[in-house]
Structure 1
Amino acid sequence: MSALRPIALFLAFLFLPLAARAQEPHPSTCMAMARALPGAVFASLRPVQAVSGEVRITYAGHSTYVIETPAGVRIATDFSGVYGTEPLPDVVTMNKAHSTHFTDTPDPAIAHVLRGWNPQGGPARHALTVEDVYIRNVTTDIRRYGTMEQDGNSIFIFEVADLCIGHLGHLHHRLEDSHYAAIGRLDVVMVPVDGGLTLSLDGMSEIARRLSSSIILPMHRHATPLEAFTRRMGEGFDIDFRDSRSLTVSLANLPRRPTVVVLDGV
């Protein structure tokens, strides 16, 4: 009887509804562990379209960057409704440490609202495909009212045009090896550099160095001198101040040396 069990399981799978069979996460190009994400929820059952080209990244304000994919998908990070609203994004990500990083009343026309925490408790789990971008998250803890709240923040990763782009959110603690393994490769990473409201500059620069991203985009600076962060990155990182709030990036034009790119407005 035991020899027939694999055949029975295969036949049971074969007659499952298509939607049930399609819930397996899309393979990640940035990490080998993406298939281990439990409870992944998809916004689309279509396969990721192989769209190459450039991704446009614009600093909108505070911790909000707007990512525009080659297929025209518009994503706003740490969305509070103040920055990155025009034109209206297709996808917004949020974190709940402060009201400047989320909104309870997002425009109903926004197709995908991804909260970095789970209102029902436990970790938030996102793994969705929107046209040419695959979006997933890695949860971390946040500090609220003097105590640490488990899984209250999410690091969001956007896989598009063969690039791996990460946003650290409102990160309050150093990352463990398991976090780095779950994050995988990041070609571009958005890093809060306020020096205390999130994580100390020593801690944040340690994370940025270990991620070894080609492009590091500071955010959430407040009054912290940029030099206080860039100095801690060390001689292995170049510094590039831009007059524009936007940059376009592709796998082909990533800098040869890891570079802290400071966009206008930061």
Structure 2
Amino acid sequence: MADIQYLGHSCFRLRGRDGIVLTDPYDRSVGRDLGRPTAHIVTVSHHHPDHDNVVAVRPARDRVTVIDGPGEYEVGGILITGVRTFHDKQKGARLGRNTVYVIHLDDIVFCHLGDLAHELTAQQLEEIGSVDVLFVPVGGGETIGPAEAASVISQIEPRVVIPMHYASEGQSAMDLAPLDRFLHELGIKEYVPEERLSLNAGNLPGDGEQTRIVVMRTAV
């Protein structure tokens, strides 16, 4: 059973039997205080202050392992693959590169898109592979917006989608669209935010079932 908490912006805390993974910790420029979450592993999609505040993370045991680029990693039984993408539509010429992470935790495959700013190529999709849970930016600005996010979801075909990186109350102005625009793009009118999500192979949508969209409430 893998437990998921949303800590705001693009930061999630994934807890499984082999450890805790924290994605894209942010600094106070976001307008929130991340606090001092614990983790065994931290993934950093790109080196901007609102995605790489690694010093805020406390080690769950003796140290924190930081993963900040493409490649294949194994830490304490947790498998992670970093896939090179870009933070803009000019192949990184303006804002640099971005790493998408595929995280294997408790028999579930998570995919965190970071600040992806384009649709994926066939090669990138092959490297990402089959995904159970997709964390996707939906607010636009320097990432994909609502319509592009819907297209990327169609490319990856995950079982569960959790939106991130959108305008929210208490967050500093970052030229991001609100969550409702993404939900409108998918035809979703009503939803109940989840405080915490626990997933295993048995409660994921099955083959042929519709992708489940889960909105998570910020835990900090």
CA distance 1:185–1:234, change in 2 (3 Å): farther
Instruction: Confirm or deny that 1:219 pairs with 2:164.
Output: yes
Q: TM-score, normalised by structure 2?
A: 0.79
Instruction: Confirm or deny that 1:100 pairs with 2:47.
Output: no
1:94 Cα offset (Å)? 0.9
Matching residue's letter, 1:113: V
Deviations 1:167-209 (A, max 9, x none): 0001111111111111001100001111222123221210012
Match of 1:248 in 2: 198
Q: CA contact under 8 A between 2:103 and 2:109: conserved in structure 1?
A: yes
Matching residue's letter, 2:46: K
User: Secondary structure at the residue paired with 1:169?
Assistant: coil
User: Secondary structure at the residue paired with 2:103?
Assistant: strand
Which has the greater radius of gyration?
Answer: 1
Structure with higher RCO (Cα < 8 A, 6+ apart): 2
d(CA) in 2 for partners of 1:106 and 1:227?
30
Match of 1:265 in 2: 218
Match of 1:62 in 2: 9
d(CA) in 2 for partners of 1:250 and 1:261?
15
The size of the alignment, in residue pairs, is 200
Runs of 4+ in 1 over 6 A off after TM superposition: none
Matching residue's letter, 1:66: R
1:261 Cα offset (Å)? 0.1
2:127 equivalent among 158, 182, 190: 182
Match of 1:78 in 2: 24
Q: CA contact under 8 A between 1:215 and 1:258: conserved in structure 2?
A: yes
d(CA) in 1 for partners of 2:178 and 2:57?
35
Q: CA contact under 8 A between 2:24 and 2:53: conserved in structure 1?
A: no
Matching residue's letter, 2:139: D
d(CA) in 2 for partners of 1:178 and 1:192?
21
1:132 Cα offset (Å)? 3.3
User: Secondary structure at the residue paired with 2:202?
Assistant: helix
User: Secondary structure at the residue paired with 1:262?
Assistant: coil
Q: CA contact under 8 A between 2:45 and 2:100: conserved in structure 1?
A: no
Q: TM-score, normalised by structure 1?
A: 0.66
Matching residue's letter, 1:183: I
Match of 1:202 in 2: 147
CA distance 1:186–1:84, change in 2 (3 Å): farther
Deviations 1:95-117 (A, max 9, x none): 3353100137466844311113x
d(CA) in 1 for partners of 2:7 and 2:192?
16
Match of 1:135 in 2: 80
Deviations 1:225-244 (A, max 9, x none): 32321232358xx9752341
Q: CA contact under 8 A between 1:80 and 1:99: conserved in structure 2?
A: yes
User: Secondary structure at the residue paired with 1:148?
Assistant: coil
Q: CA contact under 8 A between 1:140 and 1:150: conserved in structure 2?
A: no
User: Secondary structure at the residue paired with 1:252?
Assistant: coil
Instruction: Confirm or deny that 1:229 pairs with 2:182.
Output: yes
Structure 1: where are the runs of 5+ without partners?
1-53, 117-123
CA distance 1:114–1:248, change in 2 (3 Å): same
Match of 1:15 in 2: none
d(CA) in 2 for partners of 1:257 and 1:131?
33
Structure 2: where are the runs of 5+ without partners?
28-32, 169-176
Q: CA contact under 8 A between 2:25 and 2:54: conserved in structure 1?
A: no
